[in-house]
Each structure stands twice: as C-alpha cells, then as structure tokens.
Structure 1
Amino acid sequence: MSAQQASAVTADSFRPCALIPIYNHKETIVATVKALRAHRLPVVIVDDGSDEATQAVLQALAAKETAVKLIRLPRNGGKGRALTAGLIALRDEGHTHALQIDADGQHNAGDAPRFLAEGRAHPSALVCGHPVYDQSVPRSRLYGRYITHVCVWLETLSFTLRDSMCGYRLYPLEATCAEIDRKPLPARMDFDTEVAVRLIWQGVPVRNLRTRVIYPKNGLSHFRMLHDNLRISAMHTRLLLGMLPRAPVLLWRKRRRAACAI
C-alpha cells in the first residue's frame, strides 16, 4: 500500500497498539507497561529470547493484564527482528498504528497520548520522537548520533527527520508492513534508522515530536560498540547508494513541498 492509500485511515478507524521489544529488561518492563496501560493503550511485548527470570516476569504480567499480549521468539535475534515480528502481528490483528517504545525506561510513557494525537491527526505519517536529553546522556552517544543525522539528511535529501535513532515512534502499519514485505529490514540496532529512511523514500510523511529521553543509572544497554557501529556504517553505505537512483524523485518532492509552503 502506498503512503497515499495509507491515508485512508481516519480518526474513526484509528486503532493503535503499543509495541515493546524486550531482551532481559525485567527490572523496568512492569513500570513501562503500567504507564502505557494508564492511557488505556493495549500492549504487545515481543520477547527476543530473554532469560528465564525475564520470561517469568513477562508471563506474570501477561496473565494479570488482559490487554497485554506476549509474543516470544525462541532465541535472541536482535531488536529489528523483534520489531518486525511485532509490526506484522499487529497489522494482522487489525491495528492501524504501532507505538514503539523501549523496555528499559529511557522513554517517557507519559507522552504516549501526544504521539497518538499526532497520529490521529496525521494517520499516514511516521511520528518520530525527537529526544530532549538531560545530563544522564553519555557524551559519546550524544555526539555520535550527529554522524547518523548527517547521513540520514543525505540519504533522504531533506531535514525532515530530526532523529532517526530514537526508538520512540508511531508507525502507520500498512505502509510499514508493505515495506517489510517488499524487502526485509535489518535484524539489529540499525533497524530504526533504515525503516525511517525507506519509508521516506516511499513518500511517507514524517512528524517530529519532542520527548524527554533519559539514560537510567545502571541501565542495561544491548548496544555493542564495535559490532553495531560496523552494522550502522554498512547500513549508511547501502542507503547512500540507494539514494542515488531516487535523487530525482526526492528532489522533486522537496521542491513541491517548498512550493506548497509559499
């Protein structure tokens, strides 16, 4: 389905669900789910091969909350693989949008109504979190993100997407799953950036929403400095090459948007 067809989703047919990939975040998942359920949002958790202690927490949570569904993957395959499984499952269950949020407590679940309101008003759009950090953010992670920002601006030939690495976002499911069906997305940490770039290539509009992001003390991060940075570098090489044949269309869209803004 094209971005234009996806816009057939209206406020009346808007049916969102929260989507949480998890790998061993047993200490923070209960609070995250509780905060989302406070907004009466159904939740799907994709367990990416977590350890037995986390599995026990998730099983108890799903048994207690009827609006919480658990999908368990047999082995750890990476964040991207977990998200892909969750997005397809939500689409097949009839949901129109997926609110992706991390399980580690970094994201402000209190902003969920703002993401949903933006998605209801702009149902064909990808609503991306634009992080507002406090002093807890590691400087190396903060400055390193700017390399990806510049690459994404080149890959899309626009400044439309303010932060492609933030894992707090609202996906229009038909357009997103159509892109997954067309070509599988990365299995690991490079998922968030690649899916955003490829949706922009397909003409999906982007809305950026400022949201507070923290790095909890003693938080569990699965980012592998060497391996994931190599994956991200390979991804940007692939996307920059993919941009070249699309450049005429991307530039035409940019000129059209500028003309409409006058």
Structure 2
Amino acid sequence: MLPPHNSPPCHTDDNPRPIEYPVLVIPAFNEETTIRTVVENALLVIAQVIVVDDGSTDLTVYSLKGLPVTLLRQPQNSGKAASLWVGFQHALRQGATAILTLDGDGQHNPSDIPRLLTAALKSPEAIIIGARKRPWRIETWHRTLANRIADFWISWAAGYPIADSQSGFRVYPASLLQKVNLEVGKSHSFVFESEILIAGADLGHQSIPVPIESEPRPLPRPSYFRPILDIVRITKMVGEKLLSERLAPRKLISGGFMVLTRRYSRE
C-alpha cells in the first residue's frame, strides 16, 4: 500500500518548491523483460509507484518481487484504459495531487520524470505530455503516420494543437481525474488516452508538451498499439464528439482552423 499522505514531498531538479504528493502509475501486461528495470529507475526519482498488472501470463509480477511498490492485479486482461483507471482511483484515494504515467516496456526513460514534474509545477492544471521526437523511418513509417493522423483529429476536437497525443508518458492533475468519467472497456484501451485530452480541454485542462527521447524497446516485442484498428477507433470517437450537440459549430470551425494553420508546439 502507498504510505499516508504526509510522505515527504517530491522536489524537481529545476525548482526547489515541492510537488506535494506525486504518484507514478505504470500499467503492465507481459513485461517480464523490462518491468523491473523500469521500476528500479523510476524509484530513483519518485517515491510512490503503483504497478497495475493487467492479467499478465508471464513473470511480470514475479519480476517485481522485493521492490517497494504498490502492486495491483487485474484478474484478467482488461486493456490499458482499465489498468490506468484502476491505478488512478487508487492513487486518488491515497491523496495524490499529481499522477504520472509511463509504459512498462522501457520506451520511456524514467530519468525524464523530474522534467515533466517541473512543467507540472509551473502549470499545475495542465496535462503534461512527454512528446517524443518522431522522425520518419522506413521501418516505423506506419506508426508515425498513424500517430500524426491521431494528433490531427484529437487536436481538432480539443480545439488546440496537441503534440504527440499517443504518448503514454504524462502527468495528470488530480483535479482533472476527479472530474472525468470515461469509457475504460477493453475496446477503449488506446482511445482512453486520446479522449481524456478532449475531455480535459472541455474542463479547462489543456496539454503542454515536454520534448523527450523515445527509447527503443530492449527486446523485440510487438506493440500493443495497432495502428490501423486503434486509429479507426480513435477517429470514430473524435467524429462522434465533433458531430455531437455538445460541440457547437463555432468550436468545430475554430478548432479546425487552429489545427490547419498552426504547427504543433514542442516547446
């Protein structure tokens, strides 16, 4: 279990003021080759770590033995969205003021956590996104294209340009997670992280990108992100929101204009 709310606050490397109670949530499904290293490196920079095992059938859970983390176990594979939501709710119940997420496959470098927390400290109501540098490569062109298509549609629905909408390395303000109520079923595994950006914009929580390097996975493992199917699902979700009564015509026009005329910011 997480320690009580009076645990020592976390200090960032660029600012002496503390972030009162940040908690890191790591969803994991069959990550036995990477999860221990990811968690060990994370513990060097943040004290409170929750790992949500999503019904792994390998040695993911065993790999965490002896580490000072909170381990939550899903009885069966329920998808990334459900794992994140379980972790969020547990962290909120323990009094988290900011909740970070990163993937368990090693593609995110935990040493970047202080930089994201520094951005969160400066903009406490924003969603901080670790925005990956994504040059075009022959071997990954389909994923890069899918991500940029997702960026376009999600930015349009949110009403402002969003950098790297598919990055799972983020900081969410607790105030946002206390207000949103989104679908977290298995078919929404990757839709959830897109939809929360749109919901956040509606509630006054825009995103701010922090440039990061994306690490290659230490061992080859097929990505759980399926470019065609998941982008179709994301596009469907965005289309439904764009056509809903909730989105006024003025927002449709202004959002589209901003996306078409402004470059994605990666400050």
Normalising by structure 1, what TM-score? 0.81
Corresponding residue for residue 32 of structure 2: 26
RMSD: 2.6
More helix as a share of residues: 1
Q: CA offsets per residue over residues 83-122 of structure 1, 9 Å max, x none?
A: 0111111111101111100000111211001011111222
Corresponding residue for residue 245 of structure 1: 247
Please say which of residues 223-232 and 29-38 is displaced more in the overlay: 223-232
Corresponding residue for residue 178 of structure 2: 177
Query: 2: distance between equivalents of 1:40 and 1:79?
Result: 22
Query: 1: distance between equivalents of 2:228 and 2:138?
Result: 22
Contact 1:125-1:204 at 8 Å conserved across structures: yes
Runs of 4+ deviating beyond 4 Å: 134-137, 246-252
Please say which of residues 128-137 and 84-93 is displaced more in the overlay: 128-137
Corresponding residue for residue 105 of structure 1: 106
Contact 1:91-1:174 at 8 Å conserved across structures: no
What secondary structure is seen at the aligned counterpart in 1 of 2:61? helix
Q: CA offsets per residue over residues 52-107 of structure 1, 9 Å max, x none?
A: 5223223x1xxx233x1001011111000100111111111101111100000111
The alpha-carbon deviation at position 227 of structure 1 amounts to: 3.9
**Are the structure 2 counterparts of residues 97 and 202 from structure 1 closer, same or farther at C-alpha, using a change threshold of 3 Å?**
same
Aligned match for 1:228, one of 206, 227, 230: 230
Amino acid corresponding to residue 21 of structure 1 in structure 2: P
Q: Give aligned-pair identity as a percent.
A: 26
Corresponding residue for residue 51 of structure 1: 57
Query: 2: distance between equivalents of 1:104 and 1:233?
Result: 26
Q: CA offsets per residue over residues 10-66 of structure 1, 9 Å max, x none?
A: x656210111000001110011111111114311001111115223223x1xxx233
Structure 2 unaligned blocks of 5 or more: 1-16, 259-267
Contact 2:28-2:104 at 8 Å conserved across structures: yes
Amino acid corresponding to residue 149 of structure 2 in structure 1: I
What secondary structure is seen at the aligned counterpart in 2 of 1:213? coil
Count of residues in correspondence between the two structures: 236
Contact 1:115-1:170 at 8 Å conserved across structures: yes
Contact 2:19-2:121 at 8 Å conserved across structures: no
Query: 1: distance between equivalents of 2:43 and 2:140?
Result: 30
Contact 2:53-2:72 at 8 Å conserved across structures: yes
**Are the structure 2 counterparts of residues 26 and 234 from structure 1 closer, same or farther at C-alpha, using a change threshold of 3 Å?**
same
